[in-house]
């Protein structure tokens, strides 16, 4: 699915969404788009007929969500790498974008000292901890740029 990329003209001629940049795309690239199925790709990649129909929905889902899974893995890697990052005592959790009211309340009440500590708090999702980490890093950059000015 990831080999044999086809030019945009061929993809468009088959009625599939052609990339605006005109670059060649593989079947895997097109499966990341909403509503595209392996059956839709057969006019351009006839060899896909050899894939068992039982596997179609699984492959379609795997490729469609690969980008999301990759971003989540990057977030997990960031949490592991940055477990020791200190959370400043003066952090205003109300100013952290993307946090639910419940997450803000947990953070305000328990005042975790590090990202690792926050990651282990009951009721706090990994997404909330990533939001706190991003907020801290953004604040550190902002403070550093003010110090340079």
Closest by CA to 28, choosing from 61, 70, 74, 73, is 61
Domain that holds residue 97: 82-148
- Same domain for 95 and 135? yes
Place of tokens 């790709």: 41
How does pLDDT run across 120-141, given as a tens digit for each residue?
999 998 889 989 998 998 888 8
Report the number of distinct structural domains present in the chain: 2
- Same domain for 56 and 17? yes
Better-predicted residue by pLDDT, 16 or 100: 100
Classified as helix, coil or strand, 32 is coil
- Same domain for 39 and 89? no
How does pLDDT run across 68-108, given as a tens digit for each residue?
888 888 878 877 888 889 999 999 999 998 899 999 999 99
- Same domain for 61 and 91? no
- Same domain for 59 and 107? no
């Amino acid at each position: 699915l990831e080999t044999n990329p086809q030019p945009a003209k061929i993809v468009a001629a088959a009625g599939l969404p052609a990339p605006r940049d005109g670059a060649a795309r593989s079947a895997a690239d097109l499966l990341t788009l909403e509503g595209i199925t392996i059956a839709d790709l057969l006019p351009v990649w006839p060899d896909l007929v050899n894939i068992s129909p039982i596997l179609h929905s699984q492959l379609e889902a795997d490729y469609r969500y690969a980008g999301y899974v990759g971003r989540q893995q990057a977030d997990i890697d960031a949490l592991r790498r940055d477990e020791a990052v200190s959370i400043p005592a003066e952090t205003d959790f109300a100013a952290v974008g993307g946090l639910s009211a419940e997450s803000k309340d947990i953070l305000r009440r328990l005042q975790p000292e590090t990202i690792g500590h926050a990651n282990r708090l009951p009721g706090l999702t990994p997404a909330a901890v990533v939001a706190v980490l991003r907020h801290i890093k953004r604040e550190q950059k902002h403070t550093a740029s003010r110090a340079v000015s």
